[in-house]
Structure 1
Amino acid sequence: MDPKLAMVLSAGGRGRGKRSPLYLFMRRHFVALTADFEANGPRWDVRTKAFGEAGLTDRDGKPPTVRTAQQTWYQLKQDLARQAAKPRPANVPAPPPLASSPPPAPVAGDEDDAERTGPRFGFAKPRA
């Protein structure tokens, strides 16, 4: 791992982040946990003890309680459902790159139409 990245990651510490280590673990292992919950039931008392023994904590850095684990699982399922319901943007082509400098300004009195490639702009002249 890049030493600078390791230093930045280790400096993060246990701040008040948006998601707890328990939530992040459950999200990372959502498919396996869901399959196991369906096969064996959640058994929150046993699971919560295992989460704590694995070093997972709630947002405040405390070992999770049964209620915390249940609420975290419920919140995760809500977040994933909300994310799945969001419309994904279609593949929109990127706009063309901007010119690095504007085209040169026309010189007054330059009437050489052979060298001009774009439209001519100027003041309108009254018709006689």
Structure 2
Amino acid sequence: MGERQPFKMRQARDATGLVVSARQIGQKPEPFTRPLRCPYCEHEVTAQPEQPRVSTKGKAFTRGAHFALAKEKEKGRTAEHLAGCALRTDHTLHAIARRSQGLAELGPRYLQTLWPCLR
């Protein structure tokens, strides 16, 4: 599907099962118990605090606080949500296209429905 841009998760689940918002990252003391997990699967996530950044065009901006998948411990593997996770969107899009009986087409950066009534 081409170059994948990771999306920023706005929620996580802490060790006690509590759903945590990205707005809580950076609070002292932390209002959650580590380790943190994806709210939909058991993949570990990390809390990424708000950070000032500079774009490739030199413009300053603030990257908002968010949760990100923890790196895989096995070398050579990229982090991805576990099978069946609602946030594993690339697998969901492939499944839709595969099961569509030709009524959906998956391109490098899109999913197009071929139903005349939806065009």
TM superposition score category, shorter chain reference: under 0.3
Richer in strand (by share): 2
Give TM-score scaled by structure 2 length: 0.25
| Bigger Rg, which one | 1
Give TM-score scaled by structure 1 length: 0.24
Structure with the bigger RCO (C-alpha within 8 Å, sep 6+) is 1
Richer in helix (by share): 1
